[in-house]
């Protein structure tokens, strides 16, 4: 591809991604994810939501709040088994208790217990630090960078892959970093935009682009490769 063709293709991908955002926003409005919640609660939620429905995470967070354990020092004061019992509603509670403790230890040992010192690092530095922490993979790290630190990084989850795979907008390699890079290289580095976009993707994937998609009422149907492909259903 010549340079000018590459630039046109890149501009067109940017325009498509922004148009999809605009359509989803027009259809669903602002989603108001994690408004005003404290940083640590958001982080605990990001860890607890691994393989769990959000309603169960909320039950676990309620129990942590009632036990006054929603801070790194308070959580470290608990026995691991007691912490596991508190977060039982979120599932995989023994493993998640270990992950929460590993995160809290990192904050205590490397940042003097000051969560803001961790979260105020440069976004990529913060992301690397999180990825080096036990139990934090790329999706959880990006949840924390975006929703707790308010810094620009694009969260890629199964809903994102399903929706954009069906729309025919996907990277050459089906790998987390390739998906993240596709969004971040074609969209402005804007935490508010990424925050809202991810929330809208989840909303659309839950009520329209489900495993069995409801294409008839979908606001993206005219732009969807899977819905319009010759004889193909959505992937």
d(Cα 127, Cα 135) in Å, to the nearest integer?
13
Q: Which of 166, 180, 198, 203 binds ligand SF4 (CB under 6 A)?
A: 166
213 binds ligand SF4 (CB under 6 A): yes
- The Cβ of residue 162 has, within 10 Å, a number of other Cβ atoms equal to 19
Looking at the Cβ atoms of 2 and 211, the one nearer to ligand SF4 is 211
Looking at the Cβ atoms of 99 and 166, the one nearer to ligand SF4 is 166
Contact indicator for 80, 101 with CB cutoff of 8 Å: yes
| Nearest distance in Å: CB 219, ligand SF4 | 8
| Binding region for ligand SF4 (CB under 6 A) out of 53-61, 133-141, 195-203, 206-214 | 206-214
Lookup: tokens for 106: 């990192």
220 binds ligand SF4 (CB under 6 A): yes
- Strands (DSSP E) along the chain, which ranges? none
| Nearest distance in Å: CB 233, ligand SF4 | 8
Contact indicator for 171, 178 with CB cutoff of 8 Å: yes
| Nearest distance in Å: CB 2, ligand SF4 | 32
d(Cα 8, Cα 145) in Å, to the nearest integer?
31
Q: Which of 87, 193, 208, 211 binds ligand SF4 (CB under 6 A)?
A: 208
Looking at the Cβ atoms of 113 and 168, the one nearer to ligand SF4 is 168
Please, what is the end-to-end C-alpha distance for the chain in angstroms?
29
Sign of CA dihedral 36, 128, 126, 16: negative
- Residues interacting with ligand SF4, by CB under 6 A? 163, 166-167, 208-209, 213-215, 218, 220-221, 224, 226-227, 234
């Amino acid at each position: 591809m010549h340079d000018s063709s590459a630039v046109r293709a890149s501009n067109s991908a940017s325009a498509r991604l922004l148009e999809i955002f605009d359509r989803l926003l027009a259809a669903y409005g602002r989603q108001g994810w994690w408004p005003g919640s404290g940083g640590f609660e958001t982080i605990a939620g990001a860890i607890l939501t691994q393989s769990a429905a959000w309603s169960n995470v909320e039950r676990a967070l309620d129990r942590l709040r009632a036990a006054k354990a929603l801070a790194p020092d308070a959580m470290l004061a608990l026995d691991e088994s007691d912490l596991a019992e508190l977060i039982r509603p979120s599932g995989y509670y023994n493993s998640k208790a270990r992950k929460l403790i590993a995160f809290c230890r990192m904050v205590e040992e490397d940042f003097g217990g000051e969560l803001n010192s961790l979260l105020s690092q440069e976004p990529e530095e913060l992301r690397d630090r999180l990825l080096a922490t036990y139990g934090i993979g790329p999706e959880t790290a990006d949840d924390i960078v975006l929703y707790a630190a308010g810094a620009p990084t694009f969260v890629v989850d199964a809903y994102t892959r399903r929706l954009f795979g069906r729309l025919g907008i996907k990277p050459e390699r089906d790998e987390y970093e390739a998906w993240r890079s596709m969004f971040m290289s074609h969209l402005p580095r804007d935490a508010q935009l990424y925050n809202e976009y991810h929330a809208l993707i989840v909303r659309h994937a839950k009520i329209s682009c489900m495993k069995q998609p409801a294409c008839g009422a979908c606001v993206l149907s005219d732009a969807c490769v899977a819905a319009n492909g010759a004889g193909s259903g959505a992937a």
